[in-house]
Amino acid sequence: MDADIRSVLPNIDPVISDYSAGYLSYASTAWSDEEETSGLSPLAEAAAAITELLISASGQIDAPLEDKIKQLVEKWVDRYAAENGGQQTGPLMVKRLDQTIQVSTQRNMSSTLAVATGGVDLESANARKVESKVDRKKLEKAERKIAAKQQKKTFKTVEYEASRLIDQSESAQSYDEFYMAVNPLQMSGSGASKTKDIKLDSIDVSIGGKRILTDTSFILAFGHRYGLVGNNGVGKSTLLRALSRREVAIPTHISILHVEQEITGDDTPALQAVLDADVWRKVLLKEQQQLLDDLADLEIRRAPLADTSADAAKLDREKEVKDGKLCDIQAKLAEMDSDKAESRAASILAGLGFSSERQQHATKTFSGGWRMRLALARALFCEPDLLLLDEPSNMLDVPSITFLSGYLQNYPSSVLVVSHDRAFLNEVATDIIHQHSERLDYYRGANFDSFYATREERKKVAKREYETQMAQRAHLQAFIDKFRYNAAKSSEAQSRIKKLEKMPVLEPPESEYSVKFRFPEVEKLSPPIIQMSEVSFGYSKDKPLLGNVDLDVQLDSRIGIVGPNGAGKTTILKLLIGKLEPLKGLVTAHPRLRIGFFAQHHVDALDLTMSAVSFMAKNYPGRTDEEYRRQLGAFGITGTTGLQKMAQLSGGQKSRVAFACLALTNPHILVLDEPSNHLDIEAMDALAEALREFQGGVLMVSHDVTMLQMVCTSLWVCDGGTVEKFSGDVQQYKKRISAQADAAGVVKAH
C-alpha cells in the first residue's frame, strides 16, 4: 500500500505514508465491538481517518486527486476485507471538514501523527462553558459508557503505535540517519529562546500488550540529573527507549541521545569514532568544506570577467548566497566549540580508561565492554539536551565510575539515568523518579538515600491514613446499617450517609515488595580449600598479564577484587575455577570442592527461547518441575514468571535465574563476576544478605561500592600485573584513585 500511496502522492512525508499503510493493515485484523451504534467496523473507521489524513497531507484542494485517494483506500479496504474473511466495513462516509482539526496536541495520538496544521483547537473548544439542562446523573452515566468504549479503541491504537516504533529494528538506519531523524539540526538562534524543560501530562506507554505507564506526568527540569529507579520488570529501559525515539512527544528542539548498546566495530580509530558521534558537527564541517570549495571555484570563474558583465553579476549573487550560508554554519560551529572537540573527546576517553595509545586503535579491536565505554564516551561528547543512560556503571570499573560520576556532576544539560548503584546515584542525582504501578513519583532535591527514607515515610503515612479512614468508614457504615430504618434515628443515619459519601476515596497501600535469596547449606571441608601460589599468566607468552599472584580462599572468606578494566580481574577468577591454566605457579583445590561460578555475561549461557523451568530441567535433570519452581522462588522468580520464555524477562530477572541455577550445584565457594549487574535495589540487598549468611567462601569481582561494603571483609587490588591486599576499605580505595585522577587532570579536563 505504501508504494500505491507514493504513486498518487509522490511528495508525501514517508512517516505519513508508512503510518497510513500500517494503521489500515492493523485495523483490518482489529476486534469489532458488536454494540457499536455507528455501524462502522474498525477497518471502516481507519479507512475514513486515513482518507482524510492523506487528503490533508496532499496540501491541495483538487477533486480528481481526492477521488484517486478515496479509490486507493477503497481498493485496499476491499483487499484486506477479502483476506480477513469479509469483515463488515459499512460505508466509508468520508466528508470534508469545514476547518482542519489540530490533532498534534492530543495525548493519545502518537508523535508521528503531528502533521496537521492550524484550525480548531480541540482543547479550547472543549473548555467552553455551555449551559445545559440535561439530567446530570444520566449524562455522567452515558459519558462513562462512551468513555469506556473509547478507551478500549484508544488503547488498541496507542498500543499499535508504541509497539510499531519501539520494536522497529534500527538496523535499516545508520547511526547518522537515526541521529538526524531524532535530532533535526537547529541552526543558530532557532531554538535558543525555547525552554528545554520537559512537562508532559497524561502520557501512556505500552509495549507488547503490557502497560508501562498509564495517565501519568513526565516532568524534567533542564539541568537537573534524575535517577530513575524501580523494581526489575516495571519498564524503566522501555521508557528510555520510548523517550529516545520520541514516542513520548518531547519537543524537537530538545536533542536526545540514549546510550543503549555497544557500537559496531570497524577500522575507525576510537578517537575519531567519538568525534564522528556528533553528527551535527560532522555534517556542518562537511558542508563548510563544500562551501569553501565552491567559493574558491567561484573566485576562479569570476576573476577574468568584467565587473559590468551579466555573468559576473550572476556569480556575485551566487557568492553572496554561499557566503551567507557559510557564516551561519561557522556561527553554529563556534556555538558548538568545534575547535575544542578533539581535546575534549580525548579527555573523555582518558577518563573512561583509554590510554593515548588505545585511543588510536581501531574500534573493531575492542571487546564488548570497551565498545560500551566507547558508546558512553560518544554520548558524553555530544552533550545532548537530554542524556539517557541505562545502567552505565555495569561495564565500568571503579576508577571509570568515579570519573563518570565527576563528569556528570558538572554536566550542563539534563540527565535521566537508570541505575541500581546506590553510591553512584547518591553522587550524581539531584532528583529521583520512582517508577511503579504504571506511574512516576517524583522526589525533588533527593539523592538515593534521602529518596529511600522519604519513600518509607510516605508509605507509613499512606498506610496510617488508609487504615484510619477504613476504620471511620466501618464505624459509619455500622451505624447506618443499624439505624437506617429506625424512625427515631433515621435523620442521624442520613447525616452519616452524606458524611460517608463526602469522604475522599483513598487507594489501598501497595503490597510490600520483598525478595529473599537463599543459598543451600554447605558441606564442611577441612582447609586448605583453594590456593594460588606464585601464579603467572598471559594470553600470549611475550605479554604477561599477571605475575607471582598468591591468593588463599577459605570457607569463611569474603574477598572483593577491584581494579581497572583489563588488569586481569576476571582472569584471576578463571584461573581459580580451572577454566585457564597458569603459565607458571600452582592452583590447588580440595578434591571434593564444588565451585559456583557466576559469569559477568551469564545471559550468554541461558537459552532465551526456553522457560527458566525448562532450562533447569534440561541442564540440571533429576528434579520435578515443582522443585525447580521452588528453587526459582528462592531467588524471587515466582508465579508464572518461571514458565515464560526467558527472552521476555528483564535483565535482573535473568540474573536471578542464573543464581538459581548456580545454587543447584550446592557449591562450597561462590566465585562471582559482577553479580549486582541488572539487579534492582531490593534484589541487591537480598543478595548481599544471602552472601553474608552463606556458610561457604565468597570471592567477587565488583564495581558496586555498596555491594563490596555490605559483603566483603577484605579488599584486593588487581593492577599493573599484580594482586595485592589493600589495607583500607572500598571508600578509601575510591579516595585514592580520585586523588590520582585529579593529579593527572583527568576528571577536570572536560
- What are the backbone angles phi and psi of residue 213, rounded to the nearest 5°? -135, 145
Q: What pLDDT shows up at residue 110?
A: 35
Cell numbers 555534517 correspond to what residue?
283
For residue 462, pLDDT over 90 is answered with no
Q: What are the backbone dihedrals phi and psi of residue 443, each rounded to the nearest 5 degrees, phi first?
A: -120, 95
- For the chain, the average pLDDT equals 80
Please tell me the distance from the alpha carbon of residue 236 to that of residue 653, in angstroms, as a whole number. 14
684: its cell numbers: 541487591
State the pLDDT at residue 534. Answer: 94
Percentage of the chain beyond pLDDT 70 is: 80
Scored b (16 or more CB within 10 A) or e, 251-269 reads ebbbbbbbbbebbebeebe
Alpha carbons within 13 angstroms on the beta-carbon side of residue 692 total 14
What is d(CA 255, CA 413) in angstroms, rounded to the nearest whole number?
A: 10
Spatial contact of 700 and 677, defined as CB atoms under 8 Å apart: no
H or E, element range at 16: helix 14-28
By the 10 Å C-beta count (0-12 exposed, 13-18 middle, 19+ buried), 736 is classed as middle
Report the length, in residues, of the chain: 750
Q: Which residue is listed with cell 433515621?
A: 490
- The whole-number pLDDT of residue 427 equals 92
What is the pLDDT averaged over residues 165-175? Answer: 49
The band of 364, judged by pLDDT with boundaries at 50, 70 and 90, is confident
* Contact (CB, 8 A) for 636 and 683: yes
CA distance 429 to 416: 9
3-state secondary structure (DSSP) of residue 750: coil
Among 442, 343, 448, smallest CA distance to 405 is for 448
Lowest mean pLDDT among 138-152, 213-227, 606-620: 138-152
Question: From the CB of residue 410, how many other CB atoms can be counted at a distance below 10 Å?
Answer: 9
- DSSP 8-state class, residue 613: H
Angle ∠(569,570,576) on CA atoms, nearest 5: 100
Rounded mean pLDDT of 666-673? 95
β-pair partners for 41: none
Torsional sign, CA 655, 656, 657, 659: positive
Cα distance from N-terminal residue to C-terminal residue, the chain: 51
The top-scoring range by mean pLDDT among 177-191, 501-515, 713-727 is 713-727
143: number of CA atoms within 13 Å, CB side? 7
**Paired strand residues for 210:** 207
Nine-digit cell at 190?
532557532
Q: How does pLDDT run across 368-380, given as a tens digit for each residue?
A: 678 878 888 998 9
In this structure, what are the phi and psi dihedrals at residue 475, rounded to the nearest 5 degrees?
-65, -45
Please tell me the predicted confidence (pLDDT) of residue 89: 43
**CATH level 3 topology of 530-749:** Rossmann fold (3.40.50)
Residue 93 identity (one-letter amino acid):
M
Q: pLDDT: is 112 or 212 the higher one?
A: 212
pLDDT at 501 over 80: yes
pLDDT at 418 over 80: yes
Spell out the domain ranges in the chain. 2-96, 279-335, 450-502, 530-749
Residue 302: helix, strand or coil by DSSP? helix
Give the C-alpha separation, 430 to 154, whole Å: 36
Q: How would you label 475-491 residue by residue, b for 16+ Cβ within 10 Å and e otherwise? A: ebeebbeebeeeeeeee
Distances (CA, A) of 688 to 39, 313, 515, 726: 61, 79, 12, 21
CA distance 477 to 213: 35
pLDDT exceeds cutoff 80 at 638: yes
What is the per-residue pLDDT across 188-242, written as a single tens digit (0 to 9) for each? 555 556 889 999 998 888 876 678 899 899 999 999 999 999 887 788 988 998 8
Q: Other C-beta atoms within 10 Å of 370: how many? A: 22
Which range (46-55, 168-177, 263-272, 614-623) has the least confidence?
168-177
| 16-75 tens-digit pLDDT | 777 777 777 777 766 544 444 445 677 777 788 778 777 766 666 567 788 888 888 888
Give the residue from 117, 155, 182, 29 showing the smallest Cα distance to 438: 155
Euclidean distance between CA atoms 77 and 90, whole angstroms: 11
The per-residue pLDDT for 499 is: 85
C-alpha 500/C-alpha 267 separation (Å) is 73
Q: How many CB atoms lie within 10 A of CB 726?
A: 17
CB contact set of 133 (below 8 Å; sequence gap of 6+):
none
Query: Residue 203's closest CA among 191, 216, 220, 192?
Result: 216
Among candidates 709, 748, 710, which has minimal Cα distance to 732? 709
- pLDDT of 119 strictly over 60: no
Which of these, 254, 222, 227, lies nearest to 240 by C-alpha position? 227
Is the separation of the CB atoms in 536 and 583 below 8 Å? yes
Residue 163: HSE in the Cβ half-sphere, 13 Å Cα cutoff: 14
